[in-house]
Amino acid sequence: MGYPLDPSPEQMREMGQAALGYAIDFLGRRGDARASQPPGAPEVARAHRESPPEIGGEFTPLLELVETIANNAADNSGPGFLAYIPGGGLFASSLADLLSTTIDRYVNLWSEAPVAAQIENNVVRWLCDLFGFPVGSRGVLTSGGSMANFSAIVAARTDRLPEDFLSGLLYVSEHVHQSVTKAAMLAGFPVRNVRSVAADPSLRMDVDELRRGIAEDRAAGLTPFAVVGSAGTTNTGAIDPLDALADVAAAEELWFHVDAAYGGFFQLTARGRESFRGIERADSITLDPHKGMFLPYGTGALVVREGKKLRDAHHVGTSAYLQDLASDADIPNFAEYSAELSRDFRGLRVWFPLKLHGWSAFREALDEKLDLTEHLYEELKADPNLEVPWAPDLTVVPFRLRDGDDAANRALLAAINASGRVFLSSTVLEGRFTLRPCIVSHRTHRDRIDECIAIIRRAAAEIA
Ligand SMILES: Cc1ncc(COP(=O)(O)O)c(C=O)c1O
């Protein structure tokens, strides 16, 4: 009779092989899977309300539950998912997660697990290098872009404002992701301190408006301290004029943060680097490997030009119960650079696929997304029933019916999604309901985009 919480090698092998078999089978079925959530999923969810069992059960039914979970959801890691910002899920990262949670080493204070911390620091270093950040730059892997934006705003506030910081203002585009506003709120600012700068007709932040706003606010005795540019807005994929924003930030002595959660990894491509010119002048950059590196959810990143400033904003000094551990050194104590102490070893989840596939595989996949977007844009623009007002900066193609009100466009979205082959979401642009296919998944290829084009055209012809 063993200890049930510590299964025997035979039991572990049996369960592990069953789980691995399920995972491989699941990934093999993505091409045929329904892209949108099937009807009735909320009812299935409610039918799963239950109390915890007093006595344990079998493993096989748990795998069946995983299948129920996966099926009663939009297939956000599948080739037809073109809504919001699509997810990914690299197999190498799934294996890394299994192994890192199995060895369960403590990465956040480096002397507890020096090699783990070094591996994670390599990953952070590679991200800093991607944007030409200097030797003194540092960063952290976060749970996602929202937490990265939060730490960036806290670092900016600490660096640029006095302890009594409520006169501090930060400037964002009207299309900024709401996580930046939330970050400011959590960092202690009233939401009115987040100044929304109008976009120009190309949906990028209007730099003249920004300059004007800063001058007016200064004249009113307020204290501009940061400007946030987006390297790809979620709404439309527009890239703010980063070089011009860096000029304004330099002239006005503002912290320059770039939210590159959606677009950042396009920096690997020649086209992305060209569009992001100026990003290398940022004080901090948010990245989301669980978007542009196709990783499973739970992996964001923040890189900061002067790493010391990130630490100054998050470090509260040592505690007696941690006195046996080494202090921050050439290998960082990541806990001193973020809000988290205990956390998962995220670095392995990024390091595995990078070591296995190399940057070249990611560059190729991202270049493919840019090509697919161009193709989608050209084909939709050629359709007389559709209006496609903006050439894509990245991989979002906003469009709507040429002669259709919001109700007709809503019906168009519903008809497209009813196909089950693709799943799109919508936004509001120029006060009008607008569809916004977004191509990010590493599983989306030309065949699915051609199918998407045919589905959109057919639905548009029927509704028009
Ligand atoms: C531009 C941008 N910033 C921030 C975020 C927030 O990132 P996360 O969902 O990883 O917290 C997103 C998410 O879609 C985003 O697109």
pLDDT band at 372 (very low <50, low <70, confident <90, very high): very high
Question: For residue 103, with 0-12 CB atoms within 10 Å meaning exposed, 13-18 middle and 19 or more buried, which class applies?
Answer: exposed
Average pLDDT over residues 438-448: 98
Distances, alpha carbon 54 to alpha carbons 4, 57, 155, 456, in Å: 13, 10, 47, 52
What integer pLDDT is reported at residue 150 of this predicted model?
A: 98
Encode pLDDT of 146-191 as tens digits: 999 999 999 999 999 999 999 999 999 999 999 999 999 999 999 9
CA of 37 to the centre of ligand 1 (A): 22
Among the listed residues 351, 330, 353, 333, the one whose alpha carbon sits nearest the alpha carbon of residue 343: 333
User: What is the b/e burial string over 416-444, where b = at least 16 CB atoms within 10 angstroms of the residue's CB?
Assistant: bbebebbbbbbbebeeebbbbbbbbbbbb
Cα–Cα distances in Å, from 178 out to 103, 144, 173? 36, 14, 11
Say how far apart CA 311 and CA 139 lie, in whole Å: 9
Residue for token pair 């299994």: 98
Average pLDDT over residues 14-32: 96
pLDDT greater than 90 at residue 2: no
| pLDDT single digits (tens) 195-245 | 999 999 999 999 999 999 999 999 999 999 999 999 999 999 999 999 999
Specify the ligand 1 atom closest to the Cα of 297: 10
Helix, strand, or coil here: 250?
A: helix
Q: Which atom of ligand 1 is nearest to the CA of 144?
A: 10
Residue 38 pLDDT grade (very low, low, confident, very high; cuts 50, 70, 90): very high
Mean pLDDT of the region 18-22: 97
Q: In a mutational test of the pocket of ligand 1, which residue from 140, 230, 234 has the highest number of ligand atoms less than 8 Å from its CB?
A: 234
32 contact partners, CB below 8 Å, separation of at least 6: none
Percent of the chain with pLDDT over 70: 100
Rounded to the nearest angstrom, the distance between the alpha carbon of 335 and the centre of ligand 1 is 22
Residue 103 has pLDDT above 70, yes or no: yes
Distance 377 CA to ligand 1 centre (A): 24
H runs (alpha helix) in 326-405: 346-381
Residue 410 confidence (pLDDT) above 70: yes
Ligand 1 atom 8 nearest Cα: 145
Q: Do 284 and 152 touch, CB atoms closer than 8 A?
A: yes
Taking residues 265-282, report their average pLDDT: 98
Distance of CA 193 to the CA centre of its chain: 25
Q: Give me the chain's average pLDDT, please.
A: 97
CA of 235 relative to ligand 1 center, distance in Å: 11
Mean pLDDT of 92-103: 98
Instruction: Please determine, for residue 294, whether its predicted confidence score (pLDDT) is greater than 70.
Output: yes
In this model, does residue 1 exceed pLDDT 70? no
Task: Specify the pLDDT at position 317.
Answer: 87
How remote is the CA of residue 238 from the centroid of ligand 1, in Å? 14
**Distance from Cα 247 to the centre of ligand 1, integer Å:** 25
285 CA to middle of ligand 1, Å? 12
Report the C-alpha dihedral over residues 137, 141, 146, 150, rounded to 10 degrees: -50
Cα–Cα dist 226/153, whole Å:
8
Model confidence band, residue 92 (pLDDT cutoffs 50, 70, 90)? very high
Which residues does ligand 1 sit against, CB inside 6 Å? 85, 144-146, 177, 179, 230, 234, 259, 261-262, 288, 300
Contacts of 368 (CB under 8 A, 6+ apart): 445
Name the residue at shortest CA distance from atom 7 of ligand 1. 145
